[in-house]
Structure 1
């Protein structure tokens, strides 16, 4: 039997609750809750929080209404992704939740950029933890638990006794993140399971994330990744917004419509072999043409993975992936290649030229 892959990024969290494939089916057909409390949380307060963040992030947040959210990135000067975050604006605070281990570096960068702005960024990871509720029955579970169900996508609503619930934006799937007081994590878990959510582990969550082609920083990206390659244009980058570090690269690549690589879904013909792992090469005729990202065993698709491959690799190319004893034939799912990656939409160049003026 093909070995179920895990990820070092989620060490310390339950990989499954007894039956990872059944947990996936619950997420796909009902609702399941997964502990994602290893994620970091940054809180930004102060009267200038929105205008200040607007200058640092790739997303347009200067007028982000209260009780709404979005996604955003921090780029380096060459337009490469350093941080990905999910944003929630509640009352008088903007919360940014990030990949495990990213908060210290992100907070250090934010604090260096304060200057004279009236803002206070701080690490709130010890105060708040993330639970994710996934599945078409998400609204029903929230209602049975006596909780609000904000509008999709990215609606935000306060939770009793602190924290908030935020609807997630997954293609073809309903989901919500609950950012709850860390010392009440167990009681929130019990509340959601009592309302009908099945207990699930990170394996199930990651498998459905791979199916939805939702990239994850550090797993599906490397030090060279730019937003266009992994589908973060639109969801985390506002193309008509300028005035942030790395935006010249964003505008130039969007104008040309030709990112050097693209994120694709791979089907793995692993048989009884051990699956590739993140960072393994994708090979064509013995030459590396990409890198493996998140690997999962899906309850319907079987072994699958996200991968960054060179844009000129055809969908029907004969490929292998892995290293040493993990090499296995793979095939690109042609439906995973967005047509907009091959040519910019009409009028994009003029829009981008306007965006460069801020």
Structure 2
């Protein structure tokens, strides 16, 4: 676990004063008390994304170094956009998924805080003679996710002009604002700023948006079809198995990176037979990494839960990596007679490789 700075501690202490409850480590926000609206019921909300970490990479060779390690183009990453990117093992299996952006001095990689120390250490091992330095940038920042129809007006004081499309980015004296993938027809934004500014802005934001836990944000990510690698799913998936290339996370024209040959082979040789599907599960206790089974072939799993969150009424919403053929029949969680999965359309097409 990364160490927190004094300013971040002030941010967490402020959230506690607003009724926020945290996990045993005091980092991951669990909610705003028993009387707060259920996260799954909210249309417009703001969620402190305290469980996210940020790796900063600086130096003359920062871009070229990361370009040789990640699935997306870093050398041509503009300061006006953000991108998704993956970090793979030599076998092409994803170790981490990032939201990536930059300013003139630093390239930033956002990932779950629980994964950050090991991923940062692994990247550092491959710096060697490159002029690149990795540091923990998340320990001194506040990240707020804002979503829903009311999000636009809530940000007007700090960002009179908002990013016009998903993955567009604006920097100003108030920090960085990134529009991420829309969810349920509404724009979503990540505001990365100082804890001090986040504290000052909180009462004004709360006039428009309901404070809630990151669960609401993760539900919106699932509805948007954006997968995230966690500790339970590291080295389980080639990027295409979780639709990562369909949402802009893989550049097939860039140079080599760990696992690149396998990722390219998966793209161009034969038809992809596995994808991530959006599903409602008849259970409110769905573990990430849990296996799913097709009733027609109960002896072996047909897939795995990538991400899942409670969605109310005893159900969960999940992204499930699985055999495409199995989605035409009955699929169940944990065993062939476990809770049923009900599939829904994703907001993008599950296109075949060209």
TM tier, smaller: 0.7 to 0.9
Matched, 1:284 2:294: yes
For these two proteins, the number of residue pairs brought into alignment is 327
- Are the equivalent residues in 2 in contact too, given 1:40–1:100 (CA < 8 A)? yes
Which residue among 320, 338, 354 is the counterpart of 1:327?
338
Q: 1:170 aligns to what SS in structure 2?
A: strand
Residues in 2 aligned to 1:66 and 1:26: alpha-carbon distance in whole angstroms: 32
Q: CA deviation at 1:164?
A: 1.5
Residue of structure 2 equivalent to 1:180: 193
C-alpha distance in structure 2 between counterparts of 1:104 and 1:58, whole Å:
20
Of 117, 129, 133, which residue of structure 1 is paired with 2:130?
Answer: 117
For residue 219 of structure 1, report the CA deviation from its aligned partner: 7.3
Q: For 1:291 and 1:11, how far apart are their aligned partners in 2? A: 27
Q: Tell me whether 1:77 sits opposite 2:90 in the alignment.
A: yes
Contact 1:296 1:305 in 2 (8 A): yes
Structure 2 counterpart SS, 1:213: coil
Offset, 1:232: 0.8
Kindly indicate whether the alpha-carbon contact (under 8 Å) linking 1:37 and 1:130 is maintained by their aligned counterparts in 2: yes
Runs of at least 5 residues in structure 2 that lack an aligned partner in the other structure = 1-22
Aligned partner (choices 229, 232, 243) of residue 231 of structure 1: 243
Distance 1:147-1:8 versus aligned 2 partners, 3 A rule: farther
**What secondary structure sits across from 2:308 in the alignment?**
strand
CA distance in 1: counterparts of 2:187 and 2:40, whole angstroms: 14
Q: Structure 1 residues 112 and 191 mapped into 2: Cα distance closer, same or farther (>3 Å)?
A: farther
CA contact (8 A) 2:240 2:267 kept: yes
Contact 1:227 1:250 (8 Å CA) reproduced: yes
1:292 and 1:237 mapped to 2: Cα distance?
21
What is the CA–CA distance in structure 2 between the aligned matches of 1:263 and 1:38, rounded to whole Å?
24
**Given the alignment of the two structures, is residue 98 of structure 1 paired with residue 114 of structure 2, yes or no?**
no
Separation in 2 of the partners of 1:214 and 1:20? 24
- 1:266-307 per-residue CA deviation (whole Å, 9 max, x = no partner) reads 23334xxx5432233212233322223433344799643221
Q: Helix, strand or coil for the counterpart of 1:179?
A: strand
1-structure distance, mates of 2:282, 2:312:
15
Post-superposition offset of 1:48: 2.7
Which residue of 1 is the match for residue 31 of structure 2?
15
Relative to structure 1, the CA distance from residue 154 to residue 284 in structure 2 (aligned partners, 3 Å threshold; closer, same or farther) is closer
Question: What is the 5 A alignment of 1:237-248?
Answer: 237-248=250-261
- Asked if 2 retains the 8 angstrom alpha-carbon contact of 1:295 and 1:304, the reply is yes
Question: What is the SS of the residue equivalent to 1:296?
Answer: strand
> Which runs of 5 or more structure 1 residues have no equivalent in the other structure?
1-6, 346-358
- What secondary structure, in the 3-state scheme, does the structure 2 residue paired with 1:56 have? coil
SS where residue 145 of structure 2 aligns? strand
RMSD: 3.2
Whole-Å separation in 1 of the counterparts to 2:81 and 2:286: 38
What is the match of residue 60 of structure 1?
73
Map of 1:156 onto structure 2: 169
